[in-house]
């Protein structure tokens, strides 16, 4: 597994919001199931002293970390304040910030990621489902019951499409080491290159599924950077050009960003590309 194991202490920023509360409960249910530490504290400015599903709430990240041992934060702060929340976490010493929030302005994302880097804080997301290492830990909103422990890594720009692929793998009897959603926005903290480098160092990961989308060329960059066996799937081959396909990252930018040319460039590198998600397990078996 990568980014952390069951000993990882986690805080949730904006724990008192609807999604923060809901997913704190699910994350801790998972932690109990696997014997992990889970969410040890929450942050919500002005709401110190409360409890959310038994988790104590603090006004600031600094105050939470003064009382609890945690190195990771899951950020559910609304878009306008999420960049600030990441910087607060990094400043207070958080080493891994997983940003679930969508619709964060891209300039805020750029600043927050640059600032976090100065403080040696790794950012996953924004606009991502987080990560799940089956049997170890869950940071974010992935439905844990779809996953099963194993030796295939999954890294994806998508949220729900990731669940689809994990579901296909599990049904085919192929377990996962860690599933990482890196986020669909144009600017994200961890890219395919970063996650694949971590998978390469992980003794449990024998192959990786890379799930991409229209927009940019980060999939290709990632695949080129690793020696691990990789299987890819790119969503959006039927997407009409010049259309917004849902989130900011999935805009076809004419030429390099469109799915068809991505697929042909990957095939040119002799990387297996699945034509639909249900084909992925077969291709994974072939490279393992």
Partner 1 sequence: MKLLEYEAKRVFAEYGIPVPKGVVIRAPEEVAAHLPDLGDGVVLKAQVDVGGRGKAGGVLFADAKTAVETARELFSREIKGVPVGEILVEERLPIEHEYYVSIAVDRSSRQPVVLFADAGGVEIEKMAEEDESAVRRVIVSPLLSDIPPFLMRELLGGAPKELAPVINSLYHVFQGKDAMLAEINPLVTTARGVYAADAKLIVDDNALARQGITVNRDLSEREREAEKHGFSYVELDGSIGVIGNGAGLTMSTLDLIEFYNGRAANFLDVGGGADQERVMHAVKLVASMPGVNVIVVNLLGGITRCDEVAKGIIAAGVAPTVIVRMAGTNEEEGRRLLAECGYRMLDSMDTAVKAAMEVSP
Please identify every residue annotated as catalytic.
247
183 binds partner 1 (CB under 8 A): no
Neighbour order of strands in the sheet with 130-133: 137-140, 130-133, 176-181, 149-156, 207-213, 230-235, 273-274
Distance separating alpha carbons of residues 118 and 60, to the nearest angstrom:
20
Q: Is the dihedral of CA 57, 61, 67, 73 positive or negative?
A: positive
The single residue among 216, 262, 273, 281 that binds partner 1, judged by CB under 8 A, is: 216
221 binds partner 1 (CB under 8 A): yes
Q: How far is the CB of 48 from partner 1 (least distance, A)?
A: 26
Residue 47 marked ligand-binding: yes
- The residues that bridge with 11 in the sheet, in sequence order, are 41, 73
- The residues that bridge with 172 in the sheet, in sequence order, are none
Distance separating alpha carbons of residues 244 and 103, to the nearest angstrom:
14
Q: How far is the CB of 53 from partner 1 (least distance, A)?
A: 16
Question: Residue by residue, what is the 3-state secondary structure of 265-276?
Answer: HHHHCCCCEECC
Residue 202: phi and psi, rounded to 5, are -90, 120
The single residue among 147, 231, 239, 280 that binds partner 1, judged by CB under 8 A, is: 239
Instruction: Return the number of the residue (95 or 220) whose C-beta is nearest partner 1.
Output: 220
204 binds partner 1 (CB under 8 A): no
Q: How far is the CB of 99 from partner 1 (least distance, A)?
A: 13
156 binds partner 1 (CB under 8 A): yes
Distance separating alpha carbons of residues 156 and 199, to the nearest angstrom:
13
Binding-site residue ranges for CoA: 16-19, 47, 100-102
List residues near partner 1 by CB under 8 A. Answer: 18-19, 23, 26, 79-80, 100, 102-107, 109-111, 113-115, 118, 129, 141-143, 146, 156-164, 167, 184, 186-189, 191, 211, 213-214, 216-218, 221, 233, 235-240, 243-250, 255, 275-278
């Amino acid at each position: 597994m990568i980014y952390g194991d069951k000993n990882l202490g986690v805080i949730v920023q904006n724990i008192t919001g609807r999604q923060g509360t809901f997913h704190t409960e699910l994350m801790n249910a998972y932690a109990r199931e696997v014997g992990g530490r889970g969410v040890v504290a929450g942050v919500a400015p002005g709401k110190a002293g409360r409890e959310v599903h038994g988790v104590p709430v603090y006004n600031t990240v600094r105050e939470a970390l003064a009382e609890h041992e945690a190195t990771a934060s899951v950020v559910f702060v609304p878009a306008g304040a999420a960049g600030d929340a990441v910087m607060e976490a990094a400043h207070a010493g958080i080493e891994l910030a997983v940003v679930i929030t969508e619709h964060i302005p891209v300039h805020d994302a750029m600043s927050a990621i640059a600032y976090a880097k100065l403080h040696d804080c790794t950012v996953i997301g924004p606009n991502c489902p987080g990560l799940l290492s089956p049997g170890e830990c869950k940071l974010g909103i992935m439905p844990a019951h779809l996953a099963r422990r194993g030796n295939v890594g999954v890294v994806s720009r998508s949220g729900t499409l990731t669940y689809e692929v994990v579901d296909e793998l599990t049904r085919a009897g192929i377990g996962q080491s860690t599933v990482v959603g890196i986020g669909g926005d144009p600017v994200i903290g961890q890219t395919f290159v970063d996650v694949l480098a971590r998978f390469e160092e992980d003794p449990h990961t024998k192959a990786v599924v890379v799930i991409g989308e229209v927009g940019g060329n980060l999939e290709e960059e990632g695949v080129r950077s690793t020696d691990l066996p990789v299987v890819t799937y790119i969503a959006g081959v039927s997407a009409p050009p010049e259309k917004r396909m849902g989130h900011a990252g999935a805009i076809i930018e004419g030429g390099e960003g469109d799915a068809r040319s991505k697929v042909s460039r990957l095939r040119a590198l002799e990387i297996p590309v699945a034509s639909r998600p249900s084909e992925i397990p077969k291709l994974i078996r072939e490279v393992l």
